[in-house]
Amino acid sequence: MRTLASRRQLGYRIAPLRHGRPGPHTMISPIRTVAPGESAGSLARELEAGAVLLFPDLPFPFSDFEKRFTERPFADGKAKNVNIRGEAAELRGAAGTPEEQEALRQILIRYRAFARDLIGTYLPDYADRVSLAGTSYRPFDVDRRKLSWRRDDTRLHVDAFPSNPIGEKRILRVFRNINPSGEPRRWRVGEDFGSMAEKFLPRVPRYSALSAHVLAALRITKARRSEYDHLMLHLHDALKQDETYQASAPQADVAFRPGATWVTFSDLVMHGAMGGRYMLEQTAYLPVAAQADPALSPQRILAAKLGRPLHA
């Protein structure tokens, strides 16, 4: 007889396909270049289907004074990034004189407005539904210190936040390479989320509502972890831990040149940051219900693979 504990150790089972047909073939996330002046058209739908939208040269000029922020890192070095949060836009992790820190803060405030404008122009149906979260300045090269496999973002992964349950929200990110000396930001992108999930779901331990409740009661999580959050954290870890998958999974190299802006759902698109320094990044949250097609969300893809709704 199995105990409750041993039963929970078993991985998830993929539900048989209703029509007995294999799913679509594995697809590597496409890089979709958006031409200047192009109308919004179907961009939201392409983004939701796993594309990275690339805007090669939207203007975001720096003043002469501000150019110093791409010449050396104005960071205290304690955290990976410098960022602002919330309406007050309090600056965290920065270094420099008070005047320099205020100028850096103003760049991040301006970048947040730039990201909001981009969403308003090219993803107008999201404009009223999206909420903008942290804005970051990332002056350091991709972290190659082998801290731990879990924090190694050169490994292909989808984003999941351990202490901050996401539930029915999507993670939409707007990146910009501000490198002054021609150095690209280099990424790898991987296969589509559904193909990845089929391989990894059987390795994920079953969700326990009880342990989610305990984690929240102990304030280890800021809210109760849903089954979706549980799945995403375990997929993130299982992906990063699998050296064979990292080396041999379907993937493509991408180089984002200085001046490029790119937008993607980082909870859906498999990515690894391989190199480059000096970047700006805006995180935004979008409710699944605000998508053009909610069925394309990782929340609904996982439910379809398991053949049932996820526990809220």
Distance from C-alpha of 166 to C-alpha of 132, rounded to nearest angstrom = 14
The first and second tokens of residue 137, run together, are 């300045």
Quote the DSSP letter at residue 118: H
Interface with Fe ion includes 227 (CB under 5 A)? Answer: no
Count of residues touching Fe ion (by CB under 5 A)? 1
Query: What is the nearest approach in angstroms of Fe ion to the Cβ of residue 271?
Result: 6
Q: Which is nearer to Fe ion, 159 or 191 (CB)?
A: 159
By beta-carbon distance, which residue lies closest to Fe ion? 159
AA letter at 71: E
**Contact assessment for residue 222 and residue 163, using Cβ atoms and an 8 Å cutoff:** yes
Query: What is the nearest approach in angstroms of Fe ion to the Cβ of residue 273?
Result: 7
Query: What is the nearest approach in angstroms of Fe ion to the Cβ of residue 143?
Result: 12
Span near Fe ion by CB under 5 A; candidates 24-32, 159-167, 216-224, 281-289:
159-167
Nearest C-alpha neighbor of 200 from the set 233, 160, 155: 233
Span near Fe ion by CB under 5 A; candidates 15-23, 85-93, 134-142, 153-161:
153-161
Q: How many CB atoms lie within 10 A of CB 85?
A: 15
Q: Which is nearer to Fe ion, 68 or 80 (CB)?
A: 80
Query: What is the nearest approach in angstroms of Fe ion to the Cβ of residue 279?
Result: 12
Cβ within 8 Å of residue 201, ≥6 positions away: 11, 12, 13, 14, 231, 235, 302, 305, 306
Span near Fe ion by CB under 5 A; candidates 64-72, 151-159, 220-228, 249-257:
151-159
Dihedral sign from CA coordinates of 289, 295, 296, 302 = positive
Q: Which is nearer to Fe ion, 227 or 267 (CB)?
A: 267
Strand order in the sheet with 52-55: 31-33, 52-55, 261-265, 169-177, 279-287, 131-138, 82-85, 90-92
- Interface with Fe ion in residues 129-148 (CB under 5 A): none
Query: What is the nearest approach in angstroms of Fe ion to the Cβ of residue 4?
Result: 34
**Contact assessment for residue 119 and residue 290, using Cβ atoms and an 8 Å cutoff:** no
CA distances to 65, 262, 275, 284 from 259, rounded to whole Å, are 18, 10, 16, 21
Q: Which is nearer to Fe ion, 159 or 192 (CB)?
A: 159
Q: Which is nearer to Fe ion, 80 or 129 (CB)?
A: 80
Distance from C-alpha of 277 to C-alpha of 266, rounded to nearest angstrom = 19
Span near Fe ion by CB under 5 A; candidates 60-68, 113-121, 157-165, 173-181:
157-165
Q: Which is nearer to Fe ion, 159 or 227 (CB)?
A: 159
Q: Which is nearer to Fe ion, 62 or 140 (CB)?
A: 140
Q: Which is nearer to Fe ion, 96 or 139 (CB)?
A: 139
One of 48, 152, 159, 191 touching Fe ion (CB under 5 A) = 159
The residues binding Fe ion (CB under 5 A) are 159
